[in-house]
Amino acid sequence: MKIMKILIVGTGVIGTLYAHALSGHHEITHFVRENKCNIMNKRTISYDIIDEREDKENMYTIGEYTYKCVVNVECDYDLIIVPVNSYQLNEVLETLIKQAPNANYLLFTLNWDGTKEIDSMLKQEQYIMGYPGGGGTFKGNLLWGNIGQDVKLGAVYKEQKPLLSKTIKMFEECSIIPEIPTNILHALWMHNVGASPIGVGLSKYNDIDRYLKDEKLVETCFKAMSECYSLCERRGVNLSEFPEVEMYNMPFSVIYPMFKNNFEENPIVQRFTAHALLAIDEMKDNFKKILQLGNKMGITMPNMQKLDNLV
């Protein structure tokens, strides 16, 4: 097994979770701004992670992780992982490409705009796309989160297949089994439209408990998601490949208690939700893009319009 040199952008929740998960087999470095490097380099944090790679008796793990940070890409990395908000991606890539023009990249973020701008900066064979299977939040010096036993990964172009194979192996060596959707862009769009309406709903209170008690708001979010799924279908997504579509088409009186109970009782979902509260700005930004495209395509989206008043 080859030890890979991996550069992870930032020291946020996702970057830290996967740095911890991958560091058992690979060499991990974090790319940060100069003012942050002084704070984070060699800093040790504690973690409380539900590690879904373990059996149920051993999933709750605690420990420490120490960051190794750099402000310049001065060596050749096997892979640069970019777990940033979708609205930050282009700016971050511009910075990295100046220093590492020939590097390979895993773009670990949501997508709505396709690959046109990415392809203007990177060669097709230089990157693949994906989305993490974990989440959480920082509580002071403690990372409180979960990491799944899978991630979504995919190649948009055939030229990306070698990099995809290499990255699959990297994760498998660390007991994370990648899920490879038929179309990674479609999977990212569907995840986006499933998250953005709820994110906007959450923004009304910035509190999950108060959000869950607002039954009318939750119902509006569900109906908005259905509108967005129709928009994705118009963009060419095969909805039959995504079981969540059928779930959210169930009568609200059936799904609401299940949805509410899942948030209140499932410790893994609770940690995902804590991460959602950190990502509300990203979800609002994506919500605007989704609604804008729906309007442009002439799709009636009354529930998205209702939520738009909250943004």
What is the reported pTM?
A: 0.95
Res 274: pLDDT: 82
Bridge partner residues of 144 (DSSP) = 48, 137
Q: Give the start-end residues of each E strand in 132-273.
A: 134-139, 142-147, 152-154
What are the CA-CA distances from residue 51 to residues 87, 147, 229, 231 (Å)? Answer: 29, 5, 31, 35
Look at residues 180, 198, 223 and tell me which one is the last residue of a structural domain: 180
Res 102: pLDDT: 94
> Hey, is 70 helix, strand or coil?
strand
Res 305: pLDDT: 97
The DSSP code for 49 is E
Q: Tell me phi and psi for residue 244, to 5 degrees.
A: -65, -25
Look at residues 147, 164, 180 and tell me which one is the last residue of a structural domain: 180
Q: What is the spatial distance between Cα 27 and Cα 3, in angstroms, rounded to a whole number?
A: 7
Q: What is the spatial distance between Cα 205 and Cα 222, in angstroms, rounded to a whole number?
A: 17
Do 276 and 150 reside in the same domain of the chain? no
For the stretch 168-205, pLDDT in tens is 999 999 999 999 999 999 999 999 999 999 999 999 99
CATH number of the domain enclosing 39: 3.40.50.720
> Hey, is 40 helix, strand or coil?
helix
Look at residues 180, 208, 242 and tell me which one is the last residue of a structural domain: 180
Do 23 and 121 reside in the same domain of the chain? yes
Domain that holds residue 116: 5-180
Do 174 and 231 reside in the same domain of the chain? no
Do 173 and 24 reside in the same domain of the chain? yes
Amino acid identity, residue 71? V
For the stretch 124-173, pLDDT in tens is 999 999 999 999 999 999 999 999 999 999 999 999 999 999 999 999 99
Do 25 and 159 reside in the same domain of the chain? yes
Do 96 and 219 reside in the same domain of the chain? no
Res 1: pLDDT: 62
Res 154: pLDDT: 98
Do 150 and 52 reside in the same domain of the chain? yes
Do 14 and 99 reside in the same domain of the chain? yes
Res 2: pLDDT: 81
Residues of the chain with pLDDT under 50: none
> In the chain, how many domains are there?
2
Res 310: pLDDT: 86
Do 14 and 87 reside in the same domain of the chain? yes
Do 95 and 145 reside in the same domain of the chain? yes
Do 75 and 213 reside in the same domain of the chain? no
Do 190 and 164 reside in the same domain of the chain? no
Question: Which of 105, 79, 102 is CA-nearest to residue 92?
Answer: 105
